[in-house]
Amino acid sequence: MQTTNRKIRFYAKETPGIESNVPEGLELVQSYVISNNRSSSQEVQMEMDPNKMVELVFDDNTTWFGNSDVFDDVFPEQTAGKRGINDVFDLPLSIESDDQSRGIIKKIALKVIHVFTKKAIQVGIKTLATRFEEKSLEGQSGLYWINENFELKSKYIKEESDRPFLLFLHGTGSSTTGSFAELNTENKSLWLQMLSIYGDRILGFQHETLTKSPIQNVRELIDAVPANTKLDLISHSRGGLVGELLVRFSEYQEGFTDTVLSLLERHHAKSDA
C-alpha cells in the first residue's frame, strides 16, 4: 500500500476537543465539524501525506478510517480524475444510501473529520493499518459461515454444492458484522426472507481493505471456494469493487473496462489484470 500526497478542500470549524477513539500508534492532531454554511466556517485545504490517517464520521454514526485512499472508497465518482499532484478534491457534504425497505434514496451528511498522524517513535503506516484491520476483523480473516443471529460461526471449508450461496462483502476498515449485522435488528423481515431462501448457505468474507488490493481479496476468495461455486453477492462500499472484480473473473472473456483498470492502478495492481 503506497500513499501519495493529495489536497482535500472543505468548509468546517476547527474543534480540537471532539472525542475520538484514537487507534494505537496514532495521535489526534485536529478535528473538524463540517459545515455547509460558508459564512460561519472557514475554508480548509488539507494535504494528505503518507503520515496522515483520517476518520470520516457521518450523521448516522457510521465511520470510515484510512489514508488518502479512503476518499476514493467513499466518494469514487467525485474523486475520478482528481489524483494529480496539483489537483484539489472538493469534499462532498454527504453520501447517498439506498433504503430498500422503502424504495428511496437518502442523503447521509458528513459530520466530523478527525485527522491523525503517526507518532514519531512508532512503526510505519502499513503496520498501523494491519493492526487496525486485525482489530476491525477481530482476528477473523477469510470466509466464514453466518448463523441465524448474523454472527460469524466457524470458518468455511470447501464444500461442493449445486445450490447458490449468499455472500456478504463488507466495506473499508470494517467487517461482515460491522457492515451488515443491523439486518438482524433494523430490517428483521428482510433478514428472515434471506434465511428462508438460503438457509445455512450464508457466508461472510472477512478481508483486509487497507493493506491488500481488491484484486488480492478476490484471489483469496476464489482460492477459498470450489470451482463453479454459485455466489449471490451483497456488498457495501469498497466491497462492491471486490464483487465487480469477482463477476469479471467469472466472465473473463469480456476483460476489464478502463474504469476498473484505473481503480486497479490506484491500488498498484494493474499488472495483475
Terminal Cα-to-Cα distance of the chain (whole angstroms): 17
Nearest 5 degrees, angle CA 149-CA 194-CA 63? 60
Burial class (CB in 10 A: 0-12, 13-18, 19+), 47: exposed
182 versus 95: which is more confidently predicted? 182
CA distance 75 to 78: 5
pLDDT above 80 for 84: no
Min mean pLDDT across 64-73, 93-102, 162-171, 208-217 is at 93-102
Q: What pLDDT sits at residue 250?
A: 75
Q: What pLDDT sits at residue 258?
A: 61
Query: Do residues 203 and 140 make contact, with C-beta atoms less than 8 angstroms apart?
Result: no
pLDDT above 80 for 112: yes
Q: Where do the domains of the chain lie?
A: 6-131, 137-272
In Å, the largest CA–CA distance within the chain is 62
Q: What pLDDT sits at residue 193?
A: 97
* pLDDT tens digit sequence for 190-222: 999 999 999 999 999 999 998 888 889 999 999
Average pLDDT taken over every residue of the chain: 82
Q: What is the reported pTM?
A: 0.57
Q: What pLDDT sits at residue 270?
A: 43
pLDDT above 50 for 273: no
CA distance 56 to 69: 12
Highest mean pLDDT (candidates 14-28, 100-114, 135-149): 135-149
pLDDT, average across residues 75-102: 69
* pLDDT tens digit sequence for 220-269: 999 999 988 999 999 998 899 899 888 877 765 555 556 655 655 555 44
226 SS3 class: coil
Percent of the chain with pLDDT over 90: 39
Q: What pLDDT sits at residue 2?
A: 44
Residue of 238, 204, 237 whose CA lies nearest to 221: 204
* pLDDT tens digit sequence for 11-63: 998 776 566 667 777 888 889 999 877 777 889 999 888 888 898 888 887 78
Phi and psi, residue 97, nearest 5°: -135, 135
pLDDT above 90 for 150: yes
Query: How is residue 228 written as a grid cell?
Result: 463453479
Min mean pLDDT across 113-122, 183-192, 222-231 is at 113-122
Q: What pLDDT sits at residue 256?
A: 56
265 versus 162: which is more confidently predicted? 162
Min mean pLDDT across 85-94, 130-139, 245-254 is at 245-254
CA distance 149 to 264: 35
